[in-house]
Amino acid sequence: MALPPSEAQQLVRQYKDSAAANILQGKPAEALADYRKVVELSPNDSAARLKVAELLAQLGQRQEAVREFHHLAIRYAAEGQTLHAIAACKLILALDPGHQETQENLASLIAMQDTEQGTEAAPLDKPAPTPLFSQLPREVFLALLGMLEVRRVPGGEPIITEGERGSSMFILVHGTVRVVHTPENSLPHTLAELSEGSFFGEMALISDTPRTATVIATRDCTLLEVTREMLTRLGTHFPSLEQVVHQFYKERLLDDLLRSNPLFQPLSDEQKRAISQRFQSRSVEPGTVLLQQGQRSNALYLLLRGRCFVVHQDPEGTERSYPDMTEGALFGEISLLLDLRVTATVRSATPCLLLVLDQETVKELVLPHPEVRRALTQLSRERLDRTAAMLAEGAEVQGSFLI
């Protein structure tokens, strides 16, 4: 006799709590029994079935684990959750690399995901492919899906850590994560909570720069991982990949700049789009002077790749170094917009790739907005006060300065 829904839900919760406790106590067999009860009461609970499969694998019952993962792959595919199905197939092949049926299913799923990628309007319950994936040529996209690695991260564990060098990006197949940023001399604060279908880590992967936030699994997570090594391997066979990745990186940096920088926040979306289309790429060799102390800036610069030295020279000729500018740095905007002379020289330390917004565009599309001018005046005042105080105290200059 079937239990009333409310009673069944209560039992499911009890069994899940018991399973979690048994896992913490190092009792996988007992946890497996609990999750089997959950599946009996709630056959459509894919998360519980995934736990059953994982615990079977942990207990060495490989064939049973393969059957459970196979069941999940079929269910996910039928529901249109193609990335979930691909992850399940990858987990099967990790247990049994020669599993012929799964190899065939994986090829079909990759082709299915490719079809979804090219669909203009996918159903709302299907996670959208990442913007980077959607820009890849078809053959590159298929090759990349075949390379994806599956990672499992327990709840409470970090997936990436702020400040470390990025070497991979992730697609969240199961679970939830929290994105946390810790500003200098401040307490951590949460930037976002991400759920299934989300992606993260792509900017550090592409630019080889330190991570700007920590991502923590708030529940047990299954992730698909794309590594820099995969992109490098693909690039040797598909030369067009480098251009796609570069364009993606440029668009993301510009999007972040126009969305978060106080100078551009007051602008409408249409105005921001018009500005983004006017940025031009410029490559420079090491030692190129981009801004000269005492002169006026004639452009706004966004450092896309590379590193720049920043040096201030006092009236006695003594030079003081500011912190280097790294990828993502914006400079020249205050001098340009307020028609002031720059207070430091900016010189490329490495080969650099920059996005440049010319003076005419700034005057045409940015300066006319009164809120932009107010934000600019406030920002320049803060930078001047901070720099003047540091120089007066003879302290090492850290942070922002007027350029």
Residue 117 — very low, low, confident or very high, per pLDDT cuts 50/70/90? very low
Structural domains of the chain, count: 3
Do 35 and 83 belong to one domain? yes
Together in a domain, 47 and 165? no
Task: Find the DSSP H helices in 138-181.
Answer: 138-147
The Cα 49–Cα 341 span in angstroms is: 65
Q: Which residues 6+ apart lie within 8 Å of 162 measured at CB? A: 180, 181, 182, 210, 211, 212, 213, 214
In a domain, residue 162? The reply is yes
Encoded tokens for 10: 């209560």
Residue 156 lies in a domain: yes
pLDDT for the residue 401 = 45
* DSSP state letters, 113-127: HHHHHT-SS--TTSP
pLDDT in tens, 155-169: 999 999 988 888 898
Residue range(s) defining the domain that contains residue 17 = 5-119
Residues 385 and 341 in one domain: yes
C-beta separation of 299 from 356 below 8 A: yes
Q: What is the CATH number of the domain that holds 345?
A: 2.60.120.10
| Same domain for 389 and 265 | yes
Residue 30 carries which side chain, given as an amino acid letter? E
Whether 403 is covered by a domain: the verdict is: no
Residues 195 and 82 placed together within one structural domain of the fold: no
- Is residue 204 situated within a structural domain? yes
* Distance of alpha carbon 83 from alpha carbon 171, whole angstroms: 9
Give the domain CATH number at 107.
1.25.40.10
Q: Give the length of the chain.
A: 403
The pTM of this model reads 0.63
User: Phi and psi of 139, rounded to 5°?
Assistant: -70, -30
Per DSSP, the residues of 268-327 read -HHHHHHHHTT-EEEEE-TT-EEE-TTSB--EEEEEEES-EEEEEE-TTS-EEEPPPB-T
Q: 351-392: per-residue pLDDT in tens?
A: 888 889 998 888 888 888 888 777 777 776 776 666 666 556
Residues 228 and 281 in one domain: no
**Does the pLDDT at position 146 exceed 60?**
yes
For residues 210 and 164, the answer to whether their CB atoms sit within 8 Å is yes
pLDDT tens digits for 161-213?
988 888 898 988 888 999 998 876 778 889 889 988 788 888 777 776 778 88
Whether residues 328 and 218 fall in one domain: no
115 and 153 in a common domain: no
* Residue 399 maps to a domain: no
- Bridge partners of residue 165, in order along the sequence: 210
Of 114, 143, 119, 170, nearest to 231 by C-alpha is 143
Domain assignment present for residue 135? The answer is no
Same domain, 312 and 387: yes
Of 119, 134, 161, which one is at a domain's C-terminal end? 119
Per-residue model confidence (pLDDT) at position 94? 86
Do 283 and 196 share a structural domain? no
Question: Does residue 89 share a domain with residue 50?
Answer: yes
Kindly state whether residue 367 falls inside one of the protein's structural domains: yes
Q: How far is CA 398 from CA 57, 139, 294, 295, in A?
A: 52, 47, 21, 23
| 105 and 43 co-located in one domain | yes
Percent of the chain with pLDDT over 90: 21
Q: What percent of the chain has pLDDT over 70?
A: 86
Assess if residue 247 is contained within a domain. no
The pLDDT tens digits of the residues spanning 258-305 come to 887 777 888 888 888 888 888 888 888 999 999 999 998 989 898 877
